[in-house]
Structure 1
Amino acid sequence: MSDKADLQELRKEAHDIDVTVWVGKSGLDAVTDELADQLADRELVKVKFHRAARGSGTTEEVAAELAEAVDAILVETRGNTAVYH
């Protein structure tokens, strides 16, 4: 699935979906199961990272850590939002 054309297609699809997971001060552990459940039900899930969740890291770093935790593909990060497949 890491084919560049496939990722580009997923990015297009992700544009129109709503955020369904929010990561706040409770951190990644609080949302890992929820994200995994949502990914089991749908192809793409959009996650919003609040400032408290990022701590001293960047959105990209925290998003990559979450992707690894749920064994998902990080499709893209934009601002404080990430899309997973």
Structure 2
Amino acid sequence: MDKKAASQLKATIWIGKNGVTEQTYEEIRRQIKDRGMVKIKWLRSVEVDPTGIAAACGVELVQTRGRTMVLARRR
């Protein structure tokens, strides 16, 4: 997936004060299946491991910038 397409996406998943939950993983998997790529943002107060989330969902980490990451289907 190219980074230009990733930067033009709008965030469709926000990780709040509860952090990453099983429902978050399920929603990521569902959106990846439907759209192929998903942009995720999170709060400053939440510790998030983008690489760990990508591995847990079985997807590719395309880009991380600040508190935003883009995940896509594996090639």
TM-score, shorter chain, exceeding 0.5: yes
Identity %: 34
Please give the TM-score of this superposition, normalised by the length of structure 2: 0.85
The structure with the largest helix share of the pair is: 1
CA contact (8 A) 2:63 2:71 kept: yes
Structure 1: tracts of 5 or more residues without a match: 1-6
How many residues align? The count is 71
| Runs of 4+ off more than 4 Å | none
Query: Which protein has the larger Cα radius of gyration, Structure 1 or Structure 2?
Result: 1
Aligned to 2:29: 36
The CA distance in 1 between the partners of 2:60 and 2:54, in whole Å, is: 6
Please give the TM-score of this superposition, normalised by the length of structure 1: 0.76
Structure 2: tracts of 5 or more residues without a match: none
The structure with the largest strand share of the pair is: 2
AA of the residue aligned to 1:14: A
